[in-house]
Structure 1
Amino acid sequence: MKKKMLTFAILALTLGIIIVNVWKPDNKAESTIQQEETNSTEQIGLEPGNIPPDFELTTLTGEQVQLSDYKGKKVILNFWATWCPPCKAEMPHMQSFYEKNKDNDIAILAVNLTNTDKGKASIREFVNEYELTFPIPLDKQGTVGPEYQAYTIPTSYIIDSNGLIQEKVVGPMDEAIMEDLMNSID
């Protein structure tokens, strides 16, 4: 009996993960409004070649950041949390990459999924422990992560200097991967 319940639980969990990763909410009205605001023929969305949905968040240091302000720079838009082991593995690579490239029109925005995390104090502790110096926007309301389909973390979007998504990376990256991705885009 226990084996059947365990099998059922595993199947239910697997089905739930598949549904969450496949389901895409209908944001056509919102995308249309953003499309009109951009006065561009490019489409807003998460596919390569699209303009990523804009957002404005407050960083851990209290500064307001808006994704669209980074147009003209190559951007690694990363979604993470302090409790995530692959995120912990990725952060030293991200910091090293940032230190080497911050003066080369390359930016890192590491959006903390704050509504799923252990509170601002643990985020600060994490940032201090890993000596992170790039901006850490806080997704306190839990709206930006889902909008970017960051259901498995870390999830990163590689955005070129024209403000267009070039790639989505699910899972941790090391410094060599970041270097290759940034060198492959304009």
Structure 2
Amino acid sequence: MAFVIAGLVLVGALCLVNLLLLTGIRRKLRGRGGQLSGPKPGRPMPDFSATTLSGRTIGRADLLGRPAVLAFLSTSCPTCPTLVPHLVEHARSTGLTADRMVVVIAGDESAAEALAEPLAGVASVVVEPSVGELTRAFSVSTTPTTVLVDAEGKVARTETGPRPLADMERAGI
């Protein structure tokens, strides 16, 4: 009987520790607005300069004046390839031109080019090493991360996951 009581006390203590840890994690997420990757909404888009696969240089100034989408993918991310068709569909359904959609692919260049192939003519694709200039500038720590920027150059929304644009459209963004 003493073993049963000791076991119940141990299980109760473990449950209490688990509850405290979950409460701490919840508070930390609430402090970031639930967002773990990318710039916070309302902040100005960071200044950047990058060269696309087509050889064109793009920067912050090129994205001002109209809304834009920046998607951050990685060649090592298992869910990133599932986002590519949604990016293409979003661009076609909204009339978003290639100069308004920037896709940053981090990782091996040949794998990145294969991932970028369906985006030809739909997006401006930038390939960078695992942690490149744009990834750092936009504080991206998880892929896929999608950032919507308004016409004034402020971050309107940041989402992670394989279908953020569909979720944003349902939310009216």
TM-score of the two chains, using structure 1 as the length reference: 0.63
Q: How far apart are the structure 2 equivalents of 1:103 and 1:166?
A: 16
Unaligned runs of 5+ in 1: 1-17, 23-44
Mark the runs of 5 or more structure 2 residues left unpaired by the alignment.
1-24, 30-37
Give the fraction of aligned pairs with identical amino acids, expressed as a percent.
Answer: 24
Q: Which of 98, 123, 138 pairs up with 2:127?
A: 138
In structure 1, give the amino acid aligned to 2:100: A
The equivalences for 1:158-173 within 5 A come to 158-173=148-163
RMSD between aligned residues:
2.9
Query: Matched residue of 1:78: which SS?
Result: strand
Stretch of structure 1 that moved more, 137-146 or 102-111 = 102-111
Partner amino acid, structure 2, of 1:64: T
Bigger-Rg structure (1/2): 2
Match of 1:138, SS state, is strand
Q: 1:73 to 1:180 in 2, by over 3 A?
A: farther
Higher relative contact order (CA 8 A, sep 6+): 2
Superposed displacement of residue 46, structure 1: 2.9
User: How many residue pairs get matched?
Assistant: 137
Q: Say if 1:78 and 1:155, in contact at 8 Å, map to a contact too.
A: yes
Conservation of the 8 A alpha-carbon contact between 2:48 and 2:60: yes
Normalising by the residue count of structure 2, what TM-score does the alignment of the two structures yield? Answer: 0.67
Match of 2:111 in 1: 122
Question: 63, 67, 70: which is aligned to 1:70?
Answer: 63
1:155: which partner in 2? 145
